[in-house]
């Protein structure tokens, strides 16, 4: 029974995480829409990057074997999680 509860809780948390990521991506798009005219080259570049980010997120989530292997690498610190946005 504990395993079933763990799976249910993990699945629920994953769904909540996905919804939060989706909201963040939508929020980024809204910021671009508010601050830049849709004809602006930076708006188009930002929009394209946001779309690709979402597509890659979806592909990562449906790639079950790849995701499991990715998580193993993540847990063993083989994946660099540092994203210094202000230093780019």
User: Positive or negative CA dihedral for 38, 40, 44, 50?
Assistant: negative
Q: Rounded mean pLDDT of 26-35?
A: 91
CA dihedral of 40, 44, 50, 51, whole degrees rounded to 10: 150
pLDDT of the residue at 64: 84
Across the range 21-50, mean pLDDT stands at 91
* pLDDT value of position 61: 83
For the entire predicted model, the pTM comes to 0.72
**21 neighbors 29 (Cβ within 8 angstroms):** no
Closest CA to 51 of 33, 78, 26: 26
Percent of the chain with pLDDT over 70: 97
């Amino acid at each position: 029974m504990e395993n079933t509860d763990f799976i249910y809780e993990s699945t629920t948390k994953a769904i909540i995480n996905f919804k939060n990521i989706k909201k963040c991506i939508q929020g980024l798009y809204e910021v671009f829409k508010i601050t830049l005219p849709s004809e602006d080259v930076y708006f188009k570049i930002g929009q394209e990057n946001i779309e690709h980010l979402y597509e890659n997120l979806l592909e990562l989530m449906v790639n079950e074997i790849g995701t499991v292997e990715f998580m193993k690498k993540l847990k063993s610190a083989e994946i660099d999680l540092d994203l210094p946005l202000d230093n780019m």
